[in-house]
Amino acid sequence: MANKLKEPTYILGVGCTRFGNLLETPEIKGLSLQELAAEAAREALADAGLGPQDVDAVFVGNVTMQTSQMPATYSQVANWLGTQFKAGVHFDAACSTTNVGASMAAMGIASGVYDKVLVVGLESTQSQPKELSPFERGTIPTEEMWLWTDHCVNQAYSVPQGYDIFPTYNAFNALGYCRKHGISLDELDRGLFELCRTRRLHGSMNPKAIRQQTLEDEAKQLGFDDAWEFWTSRYNPHVAWPSRLYSVVTPADGASAIVLGRPEEAVAGASDPVELKGFGMSVMDLPWYTDDPTVMPIDEQSFQKAYEMSGITSDDIDYLHTHDCSHIMSICVAELSGYLPQGQGLKYAEEGRLRFDGDKPMSTHGGRHAFGHAWAASAGSDTYEAVKQMRGQAGSRQIQNPPKTAVIHTHGYAMISTVLVLEGGK
């Protein structure tokens, strides 16, 4: 494998809707999925200073067909995006979708086929069309959402024999982390509490996050002066002991979009382009690890490929997002990437070093728990945040020295490890 982009490729524009619930959240309430996708695309195109007919191809990602009821999603949304007659495809890499799309776009651009590509991810995890209505949606029960989401997981042997995401992607990893690093279960709980506080702080500073209340404020609202007491209360049960509810994903509805192009396609006066310097992808089926649940071989491979293509090392990283629908796994992957020292991630969280104003900032949009997780759209929301931070456009949660090198890792269920390396910034 040559593992090289033959020509440089840039992110010219990014867009992302508020993450929330199409039935409740004010900014997106009442929208159809077609309109949600168009909102993200419109922001990304405006950010790039382009119109929809300026792009050559559109890659549209959506995972959960039961909630979209729109297979062949691209042809169904093209008229809403304004991209009719363009090349297009519907694709799915689960929770890595939008960043896999950005990688495919880079391949299309660096090969000389396309000058500009629009990548869009859209997802509803909260509702589905009501009785085939074109505009009315009804809430789906949580277990139904997981049943459909678990269609992404081994259907021959795992799901039919009792597979459950919470022990597999939270509890075993947490227990493995404790055993590997000699950390007590009490220290684990405290560290995950501090990590949640950090993510919720970031969510409270982000008008697009699904959860915009700090953990402390939520605790107070429910009658707890002490947030730790709230953390260990019945409001935060073990979803899979020792992992608690507030250390895991908050499912959401949302859409994101990325415009990529050759550097000469950047429009004067538009937002600063950011180079997509490299990427890495690796896939494996369950089980994702052997005797050490903190290390997935696919992550070792995807980081290695991305570092090689982009010519960076972990020492170059100024901002990191790792897939954090499991907070403990996000720490395991951050340590695997070399951004954090082995066994120190939770300690760094306690010391505030992972905050936007810390020396090792991570997931400043709030991550999967506070920003929310809309499967196919989420990787794009991570890239959106990284690009905004690199340009100095992240508002109150802006990292003081805008990062020059950002790395974004996602786990696409189940399991597509994807790493993007971005370079640019002021």
Partner 1 sequence: MTDSIIKRYYDALGKGKLMGKKCEQCGEVTFPPTTACNSCGSYEQEWIELSGKGKLLYVSHGMAPPPNPRFNDLAPYAYGHIQLEEDVYLQAIITGVSIDPETLKGFFDMGPVDVVPDILEVQGLNVLAFKQP
The DSSP annotation for 56-101 comes to SEEEEE---HHHH--SSHHHHHHHHHT-TTSEEEEE--GGGHHHHH
Nearest CA among 289, 231, 249, 282 for reference residue 373: 249
Q: How far apart are the first and last CA of the chain?
A: 33
Among 166, 230, 319, 384, binds partner 1 (CB under 8 A): 166
Long-range contacts: 330-334, Cβ < 8 Å, 24+? Answer: 330/195, 330/362, 330/363, 330/367, 331/177, 331/195, 332/173, 332/177, 332/294, 332/295, 333/296, 333/299, 333/409, 333/411, 334/362
- Give the rounded distance of the alpha carbon of 393 from its chain centre: 19
Report if residue 366 touches partner 1, rule: CB under 8 A.
no
Report if residue 184 touches partner 1, rule: CB under 8 A.
no
Report if residue 248 touches partner 1, rule: CB under 8 A.
no
Amino acid letter at 49? G
Amino acid letter at 14? V
Residue closer to partner 1 by CB (options 83, 149) is 149
* H or E element, residue 405: strand 405-412
Report if residue 140 touches partner 1, rule: CB under 8 A.
no
The one segment of 12-20, 93-101, 139-147, 267-275 that binds partner 1 by CB under 8 A: 139-147
Residue closer to partner 1 by CB (options 245, 270) is 245
Report if residue 146 touches partner 1, rule: CB under 8 A.
yes
Report if residue 8 touches partner 1, rule: CB under 8 A.
no
Place of tokens 């605790």: 219
Report if residue 240 touches partner 1, rule: CB under 8 A.
yes
The token pair at 300 is 């070792």
Residue closer to partner 1 by CB (options 30, 287) is 287
Among 75, 87, 241, 398, binds partner 1 (CB under 8 A): 241
How many residues would you count in the chain?
426
- Tell me the closest approach of the beta carbon of residue 148 to partner 1, in angstroms: 9
What is the sign, positive or negative, of the torsion defined by CA atoms of 310, 315, 316, 319? positive
Tell me the backbone φ, ψ of residue 216, rounded to 5 degrees: -65, -45
The one segment of 85-93, 163-171, 265-273, 330-338 that binds partner 1 by CB under 8 A: 163-171
Report if residue 286 touches partner 1, rule: CB under 8 A.
yes
- Give the rounded distance of the alpha carbon of 196 from its chain centre: 16
Among 46, 75, 163, 300, binds partner 1 (CB under 8 A): 163
- Tell me the closest approach of the beta carbon of residue 184 to partner 1, in angstroms: 11
Nearest CA among 156, 177, 141, 100 for reference residue 251: 141
What is the total count of residues that contact partner 1 (CB under 8 A)?
A: 38
Report if residue 387 touches partner 1, rule: CB under 8 A.
no
Compose the 209-238 pattern: x for residues touching partner 1 by CB under 8 A, - for all others.
-----------------------------x
Among 98, 128, 168, 198, binds partner 1 (CB under 8 A): 168
Residue closer to partner 1 by CB (options 72, 185) is 185
The one segment of 192-200, 201-209, 239-247, 349-357 that binds partner 1 by CB under 8 A: 239-247
Among 133, 290, 396, 400, binds partner 1 (CB under 8 A): 290
Report if residue 165 touches partner 1, rule: CB under 8 A.
yes
Report if residue 280 touches partner 1, rule: CB under 8 A.
no
Place of tokens 């259907």: 155
Across the strands, what pairs with 109? none
How far is residue 182 from each of residues 174, 178, 187, 238, 342, measured CA to CA in Å? Answer: 12, 5, 10, 22, 12
- Tell me the closest approach of the beta carbon of residue 195 to partner 1, in angstroms: 19
User: Where does this chain bind partner 1 (CB under 8 A)?
Assistant: 143, 146-147, 149-150, 156-168, 171-172, 175-176, 178-179, 185, 238-243, 285-287, 289-291, 293
